[in-house]
Every structure is written in structure tokens, then in C-alpha cells.
Amino acid sequence: MISIEEAQSLISKQTPLGTTHSMSISDACGSVLREELRADRNIPPFHRVAMDGFAFARSALLEGQRKFAVEGQQRAGVPPRKLTNPHNAIQVMTGAVLPDGADCVLRIEDLEVSGGVVFVSDSLAQEIEPYMHVHQEGSDHKTGALLLKPFTTLLSPQIAVAASIGKGLLKVTRPPRIALVSTGDELVDIDQVPDVHQIRRSNIPAIFACLKTLHFHNIEQFHFRDDREVIFEGLGSIVKSFDYLILSGGVSMGEYDFLPEVLKELQVSEIFHKVRQRPGKPMWFGKFSEAVHTALVFGLPGNPVSTLISFHRYVVPSLNQYMGRPPDQPMGAFLTEEIGFGKSLTYFLPVRINKDHLGQLHATPVWGNGSGDYSSLSHSDGFIELEETQSIFQAGKAYPFHPWS
């Protein structure tokens, strides 16, 4: 068996960077950008009024004028007006172009307006500054400025930037094609009523749901009964058509755990089998390579707790690396009670998280009935990682926390 650090390193070394393709901006949220985005004009592109109010020539205010005739209105979305007389004012709306000849704006709530005339108090006039309440042209970015770097994850703020510079089509990492595969005669579809010796499939729907929240959508689900030839034929087609195969079950030492043997026959190179961890010790990882296609294969143990923990601890980081996302650094969570664990294994312990008034995370163990007790996970927020070199884990000490989401 290898350590979790060795397992993570081996997976990382085998994980390629995904190829690039073009995607509509409307579909790009959650994707990883693979090009530079630069400003196509100054931002803002004009002196933009920041408050509803009136635009003035500051020189008139400095000369002592306090009474201004309103000579017109400047609203957003129309060409700029010109302040024809510096001793007048123009009513302006937020987002409008600052009228030519004006160089400051005063808020409407700070002024007295009556009969087409604006009155400015002495105290307000003394506070006036150049381009007051005006977002000046190019003050955010100049034409050609770098707005987004490659390998930026595109969320709502980044989508807004792309839209503002007219990028309706973006170069992003092509998401991997992912196959989710379960095996076992005891498993039936979720809409079936199981016999006494059967259970409904839950591992694959759980992984599918997590992949969706991580913006992976090119996913197909498969199930094969415990028949060596059936599994061989099924996986033989899948391994040549997908970038990731995520298998649940069939990798341990049982008589019907055919997967390691079948994968070897399909020319999938075993990278490792078994990790010093609990739960999930039988985990298997390998790689299929031919001239025009490569696939990573994760054989996750079939027990539900083992499946989900191994998926989050190893598969999710690999998928993020494939996309070009920076690696996540686990948050620290403080144990609320002392834990003893005498095995020379890394212990993944499901926990419930609470935040204190400082925003620090506190982890309370969620005890289940072994690695088959998937229902207990519904009361947890993720799991903490307790290293194999210790046997006592103290209350009040922080340990790496991996959230479910």
C-alpha cells in the first residue's frame, strides 16, 4: 500500500491539461479561460455620471455663483449635451455622459430646486472637487489593459467583464467526457422496488450530483452485472470513448471483483492499487493510452462512505487539474473532541462544521456504522484528514477539512 501523499502525486503526474475549445459566453460559467481578455476601449469609456443630480462648471461655483438656471437634461444612453453657458446647470442621471463643459456633479438631494433654478448652499460649494460624483473616463482601465488572465475560472464577475468587451465566444478548457460505472448484481435502478437481497444504486447518483455542482456536464452513467465478459465488453468500449472512467465497486479481493483483472486485459496500466487510508483502502488507479486517446481510470471502493470520500479526496483534484484550475488548499477545522485511532492509516472522519464569531471552523465528528452507512453522511458537511503518523488527535487542534461542496 502507498500513502495518500504518494497516491495524490501519482494521480497528478498522470493528469493531463485539457484541450481548448470555443464556447458561447452564455454557457461558459464555471469554465476555465484559456486566453487573455483585454479592454477594447477605456473603462469607463466616457466621463460617467455617478449620481442623479445636476452638472456644473466648477469655475462658476468657485467664483461664488449659487443660483443656476437649468438649461436641459442629460439622461443615460443618449449622446452628450453641451453646457452652453457655464453659469447654467444641466440635470443628469446616473450612468449618463457628463455634459461637455461641465466638470462636476452635485447630488439632487443636496440641492434646492424650484421653478427651473438650482440653488447651491455656501457650505456645499466649499466642498466641491474636480469631477465630484463623476466616474472619469479610463479611471478603471485603459484600452488594451489586461482584464483576465488565462486559467481564470469564469464566474459571474468574470462573465460580466467578458460581456463588457464584446466577447460572446470564449476560449476555454474543453470539459472531459466522464463515464460513471457501477457493477454488481445486488444493485437496481432507483425507480425499482428491490427484492430482499437487492439495494438501489446510490453511489453513482451521488457522484453525478457532485460533478454537476462543479460544472461538469458531459457525463454518462453505466451499470454492469457481475459477469466478467459483460464487464470486459462494456469497459472495452467506454475506455476508448471517455477521458475519465469513475468506477464504483469491484476493486477489492472478492471472487467477483473483476475490475483490476479486466482493466489489465484492456491495456489499462495500473498505477497503484490500495492506499493506506480508512475508509477506501482498496482504491485502484490506472491509465489507458493509445495514439489518439488517453483515459484516467479511478476504481473507487464500493462502500458508499469509501466511494464519496475517495471521490472528493482524489478525483475532484484531478478533474480541477485537468481543467487548469489552481489546486484547492484544504481549510483547517478545529476538532471539538479528542479522537483516538491506533491504525497506521490516514483516517478520513466525517464531520459537522460550525463557525464561531471569528469565522473559524469547528469540526464535530459524525459517527456512522462503518463505511456502508451512507445515511450518516447526510448529517455531515465533509470530512477531516487525520494523518497516519499520529494515534491521538487533540481537541482544539486544526486538521485539514474537505467539504462535500
The yes-or-no verdict on residue 100 having pLDDT over 90 is yes
With a CB cutoff of 8 Å and minimum separation 6, the contacts of 115 are: none
Predicted pLDDT at 324: 97
The pLDDT value given to residue 292: 86
- pLDDT value of position 68: 98
Q: List b or e across 311-336, with b for residues whose CB sees 16 or more CB atoms inside 10 angstroms.
A: bbbbbbbbbbbbbbbeeeeeeebbbe
pLDDT at residue 363 above 80? yes
Lowest mean pLDDT among 194-198, 222-226, 331-335, 357-361: 194-198
Question: What is the structure's pLDDT at 270?
Answer: 95
Residue 16 near residue 288, CB atoms below 8 Å: no
Cβ–Cβ < 8 Å for 66, 205:
no
Split at pLDDT 50, 70, 90, the class of 279 is very high
Distance CA 159, CA 136 (A): 23
Higher pLDDT, 5 or 195: 5
What is the average per-residue pLDDT within 4-11?
98
Whether the pLDDT of residue 366 is over 70: the answer is yes
Lowest pLDDT segment from 223-237, 243-257, 263-277: 243-257
Q: Which of 387, 388, 390, 389 is nearest to 400 (CA)?
A: 387
Asked if pLDDT for residue 372 goes beyond 70, the answer is: no
Q: What pLDDT, in 10s, does the model give residues 245-265?
A: 999 987 776 565 688 889 999
User: Which tens digit of pLDDT belongs to each residue from 287-306?
Assistant: 999 888 999 999 998 888 99
Domains and CATH numbers, the chain: 4-19+174-323 (3.40.980.10), 22-41+153-173 (no CATH), 48-135 (2.170.190.11), 332-403 (2.40.340.10)
Percent of the chain at pLDDT > 70 equals 96
Arithmetic mean of pLDDT over the chain: 93
Alpha helices in 239-303, H assignment, sequence order: 259-265
Closest CA to 181 of 299, 274, 56, 58: 299
β-bridge pairing 392-393 and 339-340: antiparallel
Dihedrals phi, psi of 224, to nearest 5 degrees: -125, 140
What pLDDT was estimated at residue 375? Answer: 82
Residue, of 347 and 190, whose pLDDT is higher: 347
Distance CA 122, CA 210 (A): 62
> What is the Cα–Cα distance from 30 to 20, expressed in whole angstroms?
15
Kind and range of the H or E run holding 187: strand 187-188
Higher pLDDT, 225 or 140: 140
User: Residue 156 belongs to what H/E stretch?
Assistant: helix 156-164
Give the pTM: 0.88
| pLDDT tens per residue across span 32-71 | 999 999 999 999 999 999 999 999 999 999 999 999 999 9
Per residue in 110-121, pLDDT (tens digit) is 999 999 999 999
Predicted confidence (pLDDT) at residue 191 exceeds the cutoff of 80: no
**Interval 165-183 mean pLDDT:** 96
Nearest by Cα to 385 from 313, 308, 287: 313
Query: What pLDDT sits at residue 129?
Result: 95
Q: Grid coordinates in use for 181?
A: 460505472
Q: What percent of the chain has pLDDT over 90?
A: 82
* pLDDT value for 256: 52
- What is the pLDDT at residue 222? 93
Distance CA 261, CA 266 (A): 9
pLDDT at 186: 66
**373 band by pLDDT with thresholds 50, 70 and 90:** confident
Has residue 202 got a pLDDT over 80?
A: no
Percent helix, strand, coil in the chain, to 5, is: 20, 35, 45
| Residue carrying the nine cell digits 455617478 | 50
Task: Please report, as a single letter, which amino acid is at residue 240.
Answer: K
Q: What is the pLDDT of residue 249?
A: 81
